[in-house]
Amino acid sequence: MDHPTQPDSPPVTEYEGKGRWETLIIAYKTLGVVFGGLVTSPLYVYPSMHLKSPTEDDYLGIYSIMFWTLSLIGVVKYASIALKADDQGEGGTFALYSSLCRNMNIGMLTSRPANSSSTLSRSLLDEGTEKQSRLAKFFRKSVVARRVLLFIAMLGTCMVIGDGILTPAISVLSAMDGIRAPFPSLSSSVVEALSAVVLIILFLLQKFGTSRVSFLFSPIMGAWTLCTPLVGIYSIIHHYPSIFKAISPHYVFRFFWRNGREGWLLLGGTVLCITGSEALFADLGHFNRSSIQIAFLFTIYPSLVLTYAGQTAYLIRNPNDHDDGFYKFIPKTIYWPIFIIATLAATVASQSLISATFSVIKQSVVLDYFPRVKVVHTSDSKEGEVYSPEVNYILMILCVVVILIFGDGKDIGNAFGVVVSLVMLITTILLTLVMIIIWRTPPMLVALYFCVFFVMEGVYVSAVFTKIPEGGWIPFAISFILALIMFGWFYGRQRKLEYELTHKITLDRLGVLLSDPSVQRVPGLCFFYTNFQDGLTPTLGHYIKNMKSLHQVTMFTTLRYLLVPKVAPHERIVVKKLGLKGVYGCVIQYGYADPLNLEGDDFVSQVTNSLQAHIQNCSGRLPSNPSEIQEEISYLEEARSAGVVHVRGKTRFYIGHNCGWFDRIMLAFYEVLHSNCRSALPALGVPPPQRIEVGMLYEA
For residue 466, what is the domain's CATH number?
Answer: 1.20.1740.10
Residues 409 and 510 in one domain: no
Top-confidence residue, 153 or 255: 255
At residue 15 the predicted structure's pLDDT band, cuts being 50, 70 and 90, is very low
In a domain, 534, yes or no: yes
Most confident range, picked from 90-99, 487-496, 682-691 = 487-496
Domain span at 609: 504-699
In a domain, 223, yes or no: yes
Report in angstroms the alpha-carbon separations of 390 from 2, 74, 301, 399.
24, 34, 36, 14
pLDDT, mean of residues 293-297:
90
Kindly tell me if the per-residue pLDDT of 466 is higher than 90.
no
Residues 60 and 166 in one domain: yes
In a domain, 238, yes or no: yes
pLDDT, mean of residues 323-334:
84
Q: Residue 208's pLDDT is what?
A: 76
At residue 303 the predicted structure's pLDDT band, cuts being 50, 70 and 90, is very high
Least reliable range by pLDDT among 449-458, 471-480, 593-602, 687-696: 593-602
Kindly tell me if the per-residue pLDDT of 287 is higher than 90.
no
Top-confidence residue, 310 or 26: 310
Distance CA 419, CA 425 (A): 10
pLDDT, mean of residues 369-378:
78
Top-confidence residue, 131 or 665: 665
Going by C-alpha positions, the residue among 409, 288, 210 that lies closest to residue 26 is 288
- Portion of the chain with pLDDT greater than 70, in percent: 84
Could you tell me the pTM of the whole model?
0.77
Residues 72 and 160 in one domain: yes
Top-confidence residue, 461 or 214: 461
DSSP run (H or E) holding 4: strand 2-5
**What integer best gives the mean pLDDT of the chain?**
81
In a domain, 28, yes or no: no
Residue 203 CB contacts under 8 Å (≥ 6 apart), including other chains? 354, 392, 393, 395, 396, 399
At residue 78 the predicted structure's pLDDT band, cuts being 50, 70 and 90, is very high
User: Residue 639: how many CB atoms within 10 A of its CB?
Assistant: 23
Distance CA 257, CA 247 (A): 17
pLDDT, mean of residues 565-582:
83
Both ends of the chain: CA-CA distance in Å? Answer: 21
Residues 514 and 483 in one domain: no
Contact call for residues 342 and 228 (beta carbons, < 8 A): no
* Residue 579, Ramachandran bin (φ over 0: left; ψ between -120 and 50: alpha; else beta): left
Residue by residue, DSSP assigns 235-264 as HHHHH-TTGGGGGSTHHHHHHHHHHTHHHH
| Cα torsion angle, 638, 641, 642, 646, sign | positive
Residues 247 and 298 in one domain: yes
Residue 525 CB contacts under 8 Å (≥ 6 apart), including other chains? 551, 552, 553, 554, 555, 604, 608, 636, 639, 640, 642, 643, 644, 645
User: Residue 194: how many CB atoms within 10 A of its CB?
Assistant: 17
Q: Residue 260's pLDDT is what?
A: 87
Of 429, 458, 488, the residue at which a domain comes to its end is 488
Distance CA 344, CA 336 (A): 12
Q: Residue 110's pLDDT is what?
A: 38
In a domain, 21, yes or no: no
Q: Residue 75's pLDDT is what?
A: 93
Residues 578 and 640 in one domain: yes
Distance CA 549, CA 518 (A): 8
345 SS3 class? helix
Least reliable range by pLDDT among 198-202, 274-278, 433-437, 621-625: 621-625
Least reliable range by pLDDT among 383-397, 587-601, 609-623: 587-601
Going by C-alpha positions, the residue among 322, 309, 257 that lies closest to residue 52 is 322
pLDDT, mean of residues 26-37:
79
Residue 175 CB contacts under 8 Å (≥ 6 apart), including other chains? 40, 43, 339, 342, 343, 345, 346, 347
Contact call for residues 82 and 61 (beta carbons, < 8 A): no
In a domain, 87, yes or no: yes
Top-confidence residue, 541 or 559: 541
pLDDT, mean of residues 87-108:
74
- Portion of the chain with pLDDT greater than 90, in percent: 20
Kindly tell me if the per-residue pLDDT of 17 is higher than 50.
no
Q: Residue 493's pLDDT is what?
A: 86
Q: Residue 73's pLDDT is what?
A: 94
Distance CA 368, CA 422 (A): 24
Kindly tell me if the per-residue pLDDT of 109 is higher than 50.
no
pLDDT digits (tens, 9 = 90+) for 187-214: 888 888 888 898 898 888 888 776 566 6
The tally of domains found in the chain comes to 2
